[in-house]
Amino acid sequence: MSRKQIFANLTPPVTDVEKAQASVQDALPRRASRIRPLLGSPDLVVDGDRSPVGALGQSLGELSERTRRADEIEEKLRAGQTVVEIDPATVDPSFVPDRMFSEDDAFRSFVESIREQGQQVPILVRPHPEKVDAYQVAFGHRRLRAAQELKIPVKAIVRDLTDQELVVAQGQENNDRQDLSYIEKVRFAQKLTERFSRDVIMSALGVYKSDLSNMLAVAAKIPTELVEAIGPAHGIGRRNWMALAEAMAAGKGRAQKALSIASKPEVAMLASKERFEVVAQALSEKTFARDTSKVVLPSGQEIAHLAHTKQRVTLMIDRRTSPDFAEFVMNELPRLYADHLKSR
């Protein structure tokens, strides 16, 4: 709804007394109004010069009431009650990042959903504190990224927010949507400690003091480089990350060795959750993959990787490049095991 349409309905119903007064006033010669109409709507302000002296008080009262009504609507607009469309190129991310962006299947599906059905939920932004004619996101980073990729305007609610109000809104919206992984919340909390008190952080994340302490302990024990190599690891919860943090602190050099495993090409091609599991498994076995070999066809095509430890042999197939082969291997494993038992 345009602002013109909004303010078109501001004029209150006219009473019989007002109709009678209006008929008298209409008989008087009109003079151009010297009062600037509020927000460009001439119906909001009447010309006081054309009213009889006896009606001056009433006219001022009406003007005051209409101005109050207009102020209420403008306050709602300033408070962000209206959805507008914004060029995504003018929108910057929050000054405190929360998501670890991953070009995964889930994001691709999200983009296609917006392409087909449009953006259903607006993002929340504030006027940029450092740039003219620009905005900064409080929440809705994935929707903004999708709009940027699709080259379409992003639907947004614009609201004046302080830094503290922004991060609280950002954290609470993420908690409500429950689509941030545990380690993304940990990183968000860690970033907030650089500027805000723990009370503000607990409010933003909706956690208790003990929960926040655990999150900051995880952030302190697991190097940022390793977290970035593993990724958001959706589905890996608090206990698993805390166990990994304790394993990292159990011996010298373990963090670097864990990072070397997560950075291997055959591990890096796995989904984020699987990368976490490979690293955690290696740490829990108190040894690391000592031998990794490629499975290569005579033609030179690489079809899989084998990772060896003392206790396990892990076969890794990139489902993005060889989906049919991966499906075939999974289906054939029961038969292969049955043949193995028969041959014994």
**Nearest in space to 40 (alpha carbons), one of 3, 79, 85:** 3
**Judgement on whether residues 7 and 22 belong to the same structural domain of the protein:** yes
Residue 134 has pLDDT above 80, yes or no: yes
Last residue of a domain, one of 108, 139, 174: 174
Name, in order, each residue with C-beta under 8 angstroms of 133's C-beta and a sequence gap of 6 or more: 90
Higher pLDDT: 147 or 174? It is 147
d(CA 341, CA 214): 47
Q: What amino acid is encoded at 6 in this protein? A: I
Q: Name, in order, each residue with C-beta under 8 angstroms of 31's C-beta and a sequence gap of 6 or more.
A: 47, 49, 50
Cα–Cα distance for residue pair 96/195, rounded to 1 Å: 10
In this structure, the answer to whether residues 281 and 333 fall within a common structural domain is no
Give CA separation, 179 vs 47, 182, 201, 238, 336, in Å: 56, 9, 18, 14, 39
Which is more confident, 174 or 341?
Answer: 341
C-alpha to C-alpha distance for 190 and 216, rounded to whole angstroms: 6
Q: How far apart are CA 316 and CA 303, in angstroms?
A: 9
Distance from C-alpha of 247 to C-alpha of 244, rounded to nearest angstrom: 5
- The position carrying tokens 């302000």 is 45
For residue 1, is pLDDT > 50? no
Q: Are residues 240 and 278 in the same domain?
A: yes
User: Which amino acid, residue 155?
Assistant: K
The residue among 249 and 259 whose pLDDT is bigger is 259
Which of 56, 78, 100 represents a domain boundary (last residue)? 78
pLDDT for 287 equals 42
pLDDT computed for residue 140 by the predictor: 86
Judge whether residue 204 has pLDDT over 50. Answer: yes
Q: Are residues 273 and 186 in the same domain?
A: yes
pLDDT for 29 equals 47
User: Tens digits of per-residue pLDDT, 224-257?
Assistant: 999 999 988 888 989 999 999 988 887 778 888 8
Distance between CA 333 and CA 53 in Å, rounded? 97
* 16 and 67 part of one domain: yes
Residues 284, 299, single domain; the answer is no
H or E segment and range at residue 116? helix 105-117
Q: Which of 43, 90, 82, 45 is nearest to 64 (CA)?
A: 45
- Express each pLDDT in 51-108 by its tens digit: 555 556 666 665 566 566 555 545 554 555 678 899 999 999 888 877 776 666 677 8
241/189 same-domain check = yes
Considering the entire predicted model, what is its pTM? 0.51
Domain boundary among 110, 144, 174: 174
pLDDT for 266-302, tens place per residue? 888 888 888 999 998 888 754 444 445 677 776 767 7
Cβ-in-10-Å burial (0-12, 13-18, 19+) of 254 comes to middle
Distance (Å, rounded) from C-alpha 344 to C-alpha 341? Answer: 5
The pLDDT-based confidence of 45 (bands split at 50, 70, 90) is very low
pLDDT score of 175: 64
Claim to verify: residue 267 and residue 234 sit in the same structural domain: yes
Contacts of 236 (CB under 8 A, 6+ apart): 181, 182, 183, 273, 276, 277
In terms of domains, do 207 and 261 share one?
yes
Token output for 61: 């009262």
CA gyration radius, the chain: 31
Residue 133 shares a structural domain with residue 118: yes
Domain that holds residue 244: 181-288
